[in-house]
Amino acid sequence: MNSTKSILLLTSAFIFSVFSSFGQINLRYEKNETLKYDEIIEAYRYLDKTWEEAKLFEVGLTDIGKPLHLFVISKDKDFDPESIHSRKKCVVFINNGIHPGEPPGIDASIQFSEDLLSGKDGLNSLLDHTVICIVPVYNVGGCLNRSPYHRTNQDTPPESGFRGNAKHLDLNRDFIKMDSKNARSLVQAFHEWKPEVFLDTHVTNGSDHQYVITLIPTIYQRLPEPMSRFFREKMIPDLFSQMHKTPYEMIPYVNWLKGGSNPDQGIAAYYDAPRVSTGFASTFNTYAFMTENHVYKEFRDQVKSVYAFMKALVSFSNINSEEIIRTKNEADEQSKHAKQFTSKWKLDRTHSESLLFKGYEGGMVKSQLTEQMLYHYDRNRPYEKEVPFYRQFLPEESLTKPEMYLIPQAWEKAIRHLQLNGVKLERLVKDIEIEVNAYHLSSYQFSTRLNNGHFRVNDIQTTKEQQKIQFYKGDYIVIMNQKLNRFIMEVLEPVCGDSYLSWNFFNPVFERREYFSPSGFESKALKYLDENPELKKQFEKKKGTDPEFAKNSYAQFSYIYNHSPYLEKSYLRYPVYRIEEKQDLPLE
In this predicted model, what pLDDT tens digit does every residue of 338-375 receive, in sequence order? 999 999 999 999 999 999 999 999 889 999 999 999 88
Alpha-carbon gap, residue 219 to 59, rounded angstroms: 29
Helical spans, DSSP H, in 379-472: 412-420
Measured CA to CA, the distance from residue 371 to residue 423 in angstroms comes to: 57
- State the pLDDT at residue 381: 94
Asked whether residue 16 carries a pLDDT value surpassing 50, the answer given is: no
The answer to whether residue 2 scores a pLDDT higher than 50 is no
Angle at 586 between CA 581 and CA 588, to 5 degrees: 115
Ranking 4-8, 206-210, 384-388 by mean pLDDT, the lowest is 4-8
Is residue 145 exposed (0-12), middle (13-18) or buried (19+ Cβ within 10 Å)?
A: buried
CATH classification number, 13-335, choose in 3.40.190.80, 3.40.630.10, 3.40.50.1220, 3.50.50.60: 3.40.630.10
Least confident of 10-24, 379-393, 534-548: 10-24
Q: 501-523 pLDDT, tens per residue?
A: 999 999 999 999 999 999 999 99
Compute the average pLDDT of residues 218-234: 97
Would you state the pLDDT for residue 363? 87
The DSSP letter of residue 257 is P
What pLDDT does 466 receive? 96
Report whether pLDDT(111) > 70. Answer: yes
pLDDT of residue 260: 64
Residue 94 forms beta bridges with which residues?
A: 134, 199
**pLDDT tens column, 254-288:** 998 876 667 888 999 999 999 999 999 999 999 99
Q: Which residues contact 168 (CB under 8 A, 6 or more apart)?
A: 453
> What pLDDT was estimated at residue 261?
64
CB distance 167 to 186 below 8 Å: no
Residue 11 has pLDDT above 70, yes or no: no
- Where are the strands (E) in 391-456, listed by range? 393-400, 404-407, 426-427, 432-446
Write out pLDDT tens, residues 112-153: 999 999 999 999 999 999 999 999 999 999 999 999 999 888
How far is 122 from 114, CA to CA, in rounded Å?
A: 12
Locate the domains of the chain by residue range.
13-335, 357-394, 400-512+574-579, 518-562
Beta bridge partners of 394: 346
Is residue 23 predicted with pLDDT exceeding 50?
Answer: no
pLDDT for 152 equals: 85
Q: What is the mean pLDDT of the chain?
A: 94
Question: Strand locations in 47-111, DSSP E?
Answer: 54-61, 67-73, 90-95
> Which pLDDT score is estimated for 93?
99
Contacts of 113 (CB under 8 A, 6+ apart): 44, 47, 54, 71, 73, 132, 134
Q: State the pLDDT at residue 7.
A: 39
Q: Is the pLDDT of residue 475 over 80?
A: yes
Confidence tier at 540 by pLDDT (50, 70, 90): very high
Q: Give the max Cα distance, the chain.
A: 97
